[in-house]
């Protein structure tokens, strides 16, 4: 490992257009928790004078990295090379403790500053990345740094390999959303530092989290070499509430874990490459994955039906992967379990108590599929109602239940209604899949969780029905995942509170 884990620095880059704004940024970054601040001098509208740099750096409460990046390395400095280096010399004289210079550039006479020797590729992961890193590490520079754009999160893992294998304290970062894992797990593998922006949109490279996300959401200070790693795979995945919920659960229970969003483009090959990347690196301590659209079927294919429970196999999709320390994968579908348990808990019955109860399911998409499979498995008298009748027919035939048009749900004689359509979901909160609650209905379950109370649930409340919300289902599936992965009881109330507060 390149450096002691306790030394992994949280570095905040400042890309301010004026010296005054940069001075204010230094104070703000220091109070936000930065261990180091990178002053991107190339972003200044006017090249700084030595006197300005003296004033800027004299009072900094934390050590400063001075960087004056030329345009061919993704920077903004357009002057001559001599002028560029002269500014760095003035920064070193003014007290910058680290100077960043680019690959192929020789350092100046900066005896009191450490040298970061860097290479950036904003387009790809270079084929000769290993050679580049070796070349940077072989110079007299103190800290080799590479930043590259990965094709996917499997390539982002390469950054962690570099940090582990390079004999000097190293910075290696994969950029973009798919590279986020390399920025957060930098601490686990003992990188010299990772970069986090002061606020959203203020970063110096694509994919930088904010410092408050790193500290508060990903619990930066709790990450160590022993931390177990989890994540949610999806495309898109940036909107997912799961990182907030699971990281809060780890925090509340003192479990040594971190949970990350993993963007994987559609396609089984992309999915499999990432899983192979995790299994090739047992030192990562990757123990579990949530899986969301469009990868739930890919997940089942990757894990293999023999390693999943019977209902997951029938559904043909899983949303949970558990990775044992020996690399064995297990698949579960906590979507169906979360939904059925939300319903049964509210009705105060066991799953088996669903037998012969009449249930009308609205919708025939992915959520309906998991719920219909489970209802039929537990013997409920299920009817699938869908706008596109042929989809209802296909689903009903597969699981051996009835089907009908969506408008026939208004005259259902079912005791339980479960909405699995997206009708009523934000932003169309004025819509409902049922114009009125039929008289036979005693329980209404809306799988939608945004808004927390849909129009359908509001109508059901007026009709004195028992209500089951999409939030109950969502929290249940996260609770199931937490317990599968950690073997500990989940802090359900904390998880629910985080989800509810995120949903406003």
Q: Which is nearer to ligand NAP, 112 or 493 (CB)?
A: 493
Give the strand pairing for 416-419 and 171-174. unpaired
Smallest distance from the beta carbon of 195 to ligand NAP, in angstroms? Answer: 34
Catalytic hit among 117, 119, 145, 295: 145
What's the CA gap between 14 and 473, in Å, rounded?
A: 42
Catalytic hit among 114, 117, 295, 296: 296
Q: Which is nearer to ligand NAP, 208 or 477 (CB)?
A: 477
SS3 category, 19 = helix
> What is the DSSP secondary-structure string of 92-157?
HHHT-SEEEEETTPPP-S-TTSEEEEEEEESS---TTHHHHHHHHHHSS-SEEEEEE--SSHHHHH
Catalytic hit among 114, 117, 119, 120: 120
In degrees to the nearest 10, what's the CA dihedral of 36, 41, 45, 48? 110
- 8 Å CB contact between 337 and 301: no
- 8 Å CB contact between 274 and 154: yes
What's the CA gap between 424 and 311, in Å, rounded?
A: 29
Smallest distance from the beta carbon of 459 to ligand NAP, in angstroms? Answer: 16
What's the CA gap between 381 and 400, in Å, rounded?
A: 10
Smallest distance from the beta carbon of 407 to ligand NAP, in angstroms? Answer: 10
- 8 Å CB contact between 343 and 418: yes
Q: Which is nearer to ligand NAP, 98 or 417 (CB)?
A: 417
Q: Which residues contact 432 (CB under 8 A, 6 or more apart)?
A: 423, 424, 454, 455, 456, 459
Could you confirm whether 55 is annotated as catalytic?
Answer: no
Question: Chain-centre distance of CA 469, in angstroms?
Answer: 24
- 8 Å CB contact between 336 and 311: yes
Smallest distance from the beta carbon of 302 to ligand NAP, in angstroms? Answer: 20
Could you confirm whether 459 is annotated as catalytic?
Answer: no
Could you confirm whether 128 is annotated as catalytic?
Answer: no
Could you confirm whether 120 is annotated as catalytic?
Answer: yes
Smallest distance from the beta carbon of 95 to ligand NAP, in angstroms? Answer: 53
Catalytic hit among 335, 341, 446, 472: 335
Q: Which is nearer to ligand NAP, 98 or 368 (CB)?
A: 368
What's the CA gap between 191 and 136, in Å, rounded?
A: 15
Smallest distance from the beta carbon of 493 to ligand NAP, in angstroms? Answer: 18
What are the residues binding ligand NAP (CB under 6 A)? 335, 363-368, 386-388, 391, 406, 420-423, 425, 447-449, 470, 473-474, 477
In the beta sheet, which residues pair with residue 210?
Answer: 197
* Six token digits for residue 456: 């359908």
Q: Which is nearer to ligand NAP, 227 or 432 (CB)?
A: 432
- What's the helix, strand, coil split of the chain in %, to 5? 40, 20, 40
Smallest distance from the beta carbon of 259 to ligand NAP, in angstroms? Answer: 17
- 8 Å CB contact between 66 and 88: yes
Q: Which is nearer to ligand NAP, 383 or 386 (CB)?
A: 386
Q: Which is nearer to ligand NAP, 48 or 424 (CB)?
A: 424
The residue sitting closest to ligand NAP, measured at its beta carbon, is 365
The catalytic residue positions are 120, 145, 296, 335
């Amino acid at each position: 490992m390149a450096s002691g884990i306790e030394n992994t620095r949280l570095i905040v880059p400042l890309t301010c257009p004026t010296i005054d704004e940069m001075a204010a940024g230094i104070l703000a970054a220091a109070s936000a928790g930065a261990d180091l601040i990178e002053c991107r001098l190339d972003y200044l509208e006017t090249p700084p004078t030595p006197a300005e740099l003296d004033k800027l750096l004299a009072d900094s409460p934390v050590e400063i990295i001075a960087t004056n990046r030329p345009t061919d390395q993704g920077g903004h400095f357009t002057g001559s090379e001599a002028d560029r280096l002269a500014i760095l010399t003035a920064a070193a004289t003014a007290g910058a403790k680290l100077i960043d210079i680019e690959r192929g550039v020789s350092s100046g006479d900066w005896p009191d500053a450490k040298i970061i020797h860097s290479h950036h590729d904003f387009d790809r992961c270079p084929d000769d990345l290993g050679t580049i890193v070796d070349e940077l590490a072989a110079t007299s520079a103190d800290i080799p740094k590479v930043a590259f754009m990965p094709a996917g999160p499997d390539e982002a893992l390469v950054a962690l390999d570099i940090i582990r294998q390079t004999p000097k304290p190293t910075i290696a970062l994969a950029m973009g959303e798919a590279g986020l894992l390399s920025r957060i797990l930098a601490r686990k593998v003992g990188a010299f530092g990772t970069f986090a922006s002061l606020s959203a949109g203020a970063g110096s490279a694509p994919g930088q989290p904010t410092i408050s996300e790193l500290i508060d959401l990903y619990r930066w200070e709790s990450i160590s070499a022993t931390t177990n790693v989890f994540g949610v795979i999806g495309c898109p995945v940036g909107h997912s509430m799961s990182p907030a919920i699971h990281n809060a659960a780890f925090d509340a229970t003192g479990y040594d874990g971190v949970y990350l969003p993993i963007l994987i483009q559609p396609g089984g090959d992309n999915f499999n490459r990432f899983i192979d990347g995790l299994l090739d690196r047992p030192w990562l301590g990757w123990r579990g994955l949530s899986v969301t659209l469009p990868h739930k079927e890919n997940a089942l294919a990757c894990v293999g039906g023999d390693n999943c429970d019977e209902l997951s196999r029938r559904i043909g999709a899983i949303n949970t992967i558990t990775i044992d320390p020996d690399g064995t994968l297990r698949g579960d579908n906590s979507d169906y379990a979360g939904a059925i348990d939300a319903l049964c808990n509210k009705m105060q019955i066991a799953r088996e108590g669903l037998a012969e109860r009449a249930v009308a399911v609205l919708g025939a998409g992915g959520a309906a599929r998991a719920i219909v499979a489970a209802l039929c498995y537990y013997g409920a008298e299920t009817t699938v109602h869908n706008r596109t009748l042929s989809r209802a027919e296909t689903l009903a035939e597969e699981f051996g239940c009835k089907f009908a048009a969506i408008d026939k749900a208004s005259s259902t004689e079912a005791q339980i209604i479960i909405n699995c359509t997206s009708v009523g979901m934000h932003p169309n909160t004025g819509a409902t899949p049922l114009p009125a609650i039929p008289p036979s209905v005693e329980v209404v379950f809306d799988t939608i969780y945004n808004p927390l109370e849909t129009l359908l649930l509001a109508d059901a409340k007026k009709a004195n029905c028992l209500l089951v919300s999409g939030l109950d289902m969502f929290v249940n599936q996260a609770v199931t995942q937490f317990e599968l992965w950690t073997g500990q009881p989940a802090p359900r109330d904390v998880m629910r509170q985080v989800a509810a507060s995120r949903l406003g």
